[in-house]
Amino acid sequence: MDPVADHLSNNIRQLRETRGLTQQQMAKISGVPRPTWANLESGAANPTLAVLIKVATALQVSLEELISPPRTSSKFYPAASLPVRQRGKVTVRRLLPEAIAGLEVERVVLPPGASMTGIPHTPGTREYLTCERGEVELSESGRLWRLEAGDVVVFRGDQSHGYRNPGREQAIAYSVIALAPVSG
């Protein structure tokens, strides 16, 4: 199939489905016969410019949007494509492949006995640490928290803090860091 015709059929179907409308409803709104609409979505049609204008108007998009490559609503990221860093024996992997302003989400793997010193963030930052497996000790602001699977500690991420695995098995924790905006 011609790529432009393929884009056209995929875009028309996706735009109609996104609006929660049937082919019959779109045919009525656009003034394009229902069999023609079905052919447009299947890629079997070779529409005239007049038909494309009616379709674009009914879907409230430009002609360019009808024939351009479809916008994807999802994207797969293999684990190996996500940024990983080693901090001593501790492995820290980002869980979000795309940046979300002011938010970091990381998976922290601590072998038995391993520890890592956290880096204080901008003033006003909140950090959420949850233990998925094993045991994790969190030290922050002179306090010591011992987390087991399912436990969560919320603390000020702008203070000195550190993580340690006191157990005999590997520990896995998730850190969600809500960064405070940098003033200036």
Averaged confidence pLDDT in the chain: 90
Residue 79 has a pLDDT of 87
> Does position 71 have pLDDT exceeding 80, yes or no?
no
* Range(s) of the domain holding residue 24: 3-67
89 in the same domain as 35? no
Residue 84 and residue 104 share a domain: yes
**Is 74 inside a domain boundary?**
no
pTM across the whole model? 0.61
> What's residue 37's pLDDT?
92
Rounded Cα distance between 31 and 44, Å, is 19
Is residue 63 domain-shared with residue 99, that is, in the same domain? no
Positive or negative, the Cα torsion across 69, 5, 9, 23? positive
